[in-house]
A and B are shown apart, each in its own frame.
Chain A
Amino acid sequence: MILSKIFKNTLLVLTACLVLSACATKKEIATDIKGSMQGDVYTGTDTVEYLAEGVPDRVFFATNESILTTASRETLRAQAAWLRKNSGINVVLEGHADERGTREYNLALGERRANAAKDYLMTYGISSNRVTVLSYGKERPVDSGSNPLSWSKNRRSVTVKAN
């Protein structure tokens, strides 16, 4: 019964879409992006994997930026706590950029992003010799889309277990 209700609602929306045509679809995309981006920093969990329970493996950046957001700092503090508990584990911080920049600059930008994450881990007591930085520039996107949401998922630093 609930299902049929949802179905009915969807139908209603669909008819509305048809009537309002392009206008409605545009609105939907806008709310979708709004739901998972703040400014142009990705805030969703689509691509996120976990190093341990409650320890997300990646942080996201604004276009051309390497500044850590409040959410990113929270993620990195969780990673630092996990690394302190698992002192035998070393990590590689893989820095990435989106496809909307020149290849060489993006290699440098990926390195700068991963280093921002590394510096933060170090202020939370993680020794620098446990952390390696590796920039991929724009060479390894997680999302192959050509739109602002896809690009926001690709601007990231991912913490990967090295051993």
Chain B
Amino acid sequence: MSNARQLHEAFAKVWDNLPGWGQLAAVNHTSIGRRFMVTGGIFFLIGGIMAMLIRTQLALPEQTIVPADVYSQLFTMHGTVMMFLFAIPILEGLAIYMIPKLIGARDLVFPRISSLGYYCYLFGGIIIMSSLFLGIAPDSGWFMYTPLSSAEFAPGPGSDFWLLGITFVEISAMAAGVELTVSILRSRAPGMTLSKMPIFCWYILAMALMIVFGFPPLILGSVLLELERAAGMPFFEVAGGGDPILWQHLFWLFGHPEVYIIFLPAAAVITTIIPVFSKRPIIGYKWIVLSIILTAFISFGIWVHHMFTVGIPALAQAFFSIATMLVAIPTAIQIFAWLATLWVGRPSYNLPMLWVFGFLIVFVCGGLTGVMLALVPFNWQVHDTHFVVAHLHYVLIGGMVYPLIAGLYYWLPHFSGRMPSLRLGRWGFWMTFIGMNTTFLMMHLTGLLGMPRRVFTYEAGLGWDGLNLLSSVGGFIMTLGFGLVLLDILLHFKFGKNAESNPWHADTLEWATGTPPRSYNFASLPEVSSRHPLWDDPSLLRSIPEGKHALTEIRHGRRELLGTEAISGKLVSIFHIPTHSWWPLLGSLALALVCVSLLIRFYPLAIVGCVLAAVFLLRWSWENGAHPKMAPPTPYDHPELPLHSRTFDGPGLWGMIVTLMANGALYLSLLFGWLYLWLVAPNWSMPDTSPLNVPILLFSGVLLSAMVFFYHLQVRLLKQSYDDGLERNFWLIGFVGLVQTALLVTVTALAPLELQESAHDAVLFVMLAYLIFHCGLGAILTLMQAMRVRLGYVGSAFPYEPIVLRPWWTYTLGVFWSSVAVFIGLPMVWG
């Protein structure tokens, strides 16, 4: 035992957060995950209070408790808070907390990004909420349909709060998407092949990739709408050649995948809990994995079902209708797999199972009405009525909140080391369940009787009165239920019985990290040879803290993970990851400054903020590789397993590639916007000849191509351990890159673009800005590489970083020529 204690102390010294204010510099996934979940819970309470105000106003007809303008802020903020500040972040938090523990790792691969994500979420959330307390909250509905949200019809700053705040918060989602993907793929315990991964990880992998591809359309849409509001660029304005429907496409291109981004992690919780309480492994692992993949794919092809009343061609509506119904298949497969597991096991009644049971009923109800809504003629009737409100609350409360609470109870001993109280918890469940069904089952009927959503009051005698009263009463019962759950959880910290180390006799590795978990999770990292490590070898609970497995060396003072191959889980290298850092906090504070100064339209300050953010983030990237604060060589380095910065492959490279996939989704959204406006916008006009100076543009493209080719050559030589002249050549590439960027700036400045009159010119401008950003950043990063070569952080012994940067240049070259082809060439040919 003393061996275990010594090991623990040595590890804690390296892995524990700084004390006191130093907690703010924490990057540890357990801390960050907890912060996400607690913050998300607070936003859930705020969103719930708004829901209660809404239900109070609607309880009786013709009430004037909440005036119309406040009511519109309330329903907009209720949706916004619940979706963007509660549902997504709390599930991200759960994933951030759980994933390393489930795959047998000590942390996520990009801990500083976890921290940055959290602060962006927190500051963005505070900025958005502040608008409500100032009485200037967004009031166009949580999907911000323009022109209602435009400068003309929403002149106050409400829409700006939404667009800027949500985009800010979305940085955290993108951060989570990238780091979860790379962590799951590259830092699993040795031997954990993809097919031996706990099913939870499959769900999260799908969610993370969906975030990577699903969020960029909304980010682009928000940027465009904010540009329209602040600078008058008419992307969505008919008179200038834009189209308000483009916003709807961009929004729902994000919005529908988003529903599954919320549902998949919730289903992950269900699929984790059911086998544990059935005392039998999940039946149909492969079917479930197949369903997850199918769901992820189909969910990107069904966004138009939110837009059936827009007047889209009937054939397209039929296509999206069928695609939507097809989602029922993977969902039904999962339901039958859960059912089969219960069938062949011995299910025990327990608090988490109670919520699973509630989930199954409520979620299936929501699913059935979902299939109904997918039927176009029926949708034309019930769209925008309370029927839809009922449906979406069934799927979101049933499909997300219930599983979340099931998971909360299941992992409560893990979070706190104590057990919840069965009696209080049961009361909480039944009140929530009964209240929820009273509220929303009634609401289907209210909708069928014709009550539209988002009305702040209604006439008496339309048949809606009694139903609304029932819904309000149910809403308050549900609130009491959630209150009891909250009370139960708060009380358990004081009165809960101490938990054993694996209280539910579960099969997965998170229970071997201690209850509550140690900062480094595992003192030694075991090999995994099955999906149920703790069922197959319960002694792991002891042997892991005793240091009987791999990577117990800690004298070098580095935080380390095992780097494994993506599919086979074969051990290839050691990933060294950063310790606590202030840069994420400083970077996100600078971004918050940008956000606030854009809100108050004080642009000089915004520029200062941008510069500060760039400085902080680039300074952060400086502490990498062989930098003394990261992983300088030490006498304790593992002889046979290299550190990843000494190889050609590592998490950073994968992170770069996944980030570029997200970036590509953003770029494709821009191309979509361009082609959509060209083909559909009523007043679109294209000049006969391109307003850009094509010769200079092409020349800069040739320069870029030459540079990228030369960069690739450098990397190839470096991989052959040849680094003569590397520094000089990087300086050269960097400076030529700056010149090339300057050429692009010149092209933009010379072009007679009428940004406020023509959507065509405005889109062209955004495309140019996008290229300038990519070329400029590439140049700066290459210059930094040159400096790092000089300082000895990069070279033939540390060849990793130029390899990480290479995809950026390749991508930049790709988007440059594809932009020239689509934005300049295509109109010339087709014009």
A binds B: no
